[in-house]
Amino acid sequence: MQVNMHEAKTQLSKLGEKAWAGEKVVIAKSGKPYLDLVPHREHQAPRQPGRLKGQISIAEDFDHTPADIIAAFEGEL
């Protein structure tokens, strides 16, 4: 749903409820999208690097790029 700035000012509570219910609310200025009204979510727990240690593997030839692929990217083919 898209509403103009004036309507958003007068109906902020109703628009907030719609955003909480999952509806996309866009506030427009001069008929063009200006702001998205989204519900506040508590911050998630900080990332913990290494959580997947030992569960991901990289192929031995990961850093090796065949010559024909390099040539194709460089426009030599």
At 14, list the tokens. 């109703």
Strand 2-4 vs strand 32-37: parallel, antiparallel, or unpaired? Answer: unpaired
Residue ranges of domains in the chain? 2-37
- The pLDDT assigned to 76 comes to 84
* pTM to 2 decimal places: 0.53
Contact between 34 and 28 (Cβ < 8 Å): yes
- The pLDDT assigned to 19 comes to 95
- The pLDDT assigned to 41 comes to 83
Q: What angle do CA 30, 33, 23 make, to 5 degrees?
A: 130
- The pLDDT assigned to 48 comes to 86
Per-10-residue mean pLDDT of the chain, 77 residues long, equals 95 95 95 94 85 90 92 88
At 28, list the tokens. 């427009």
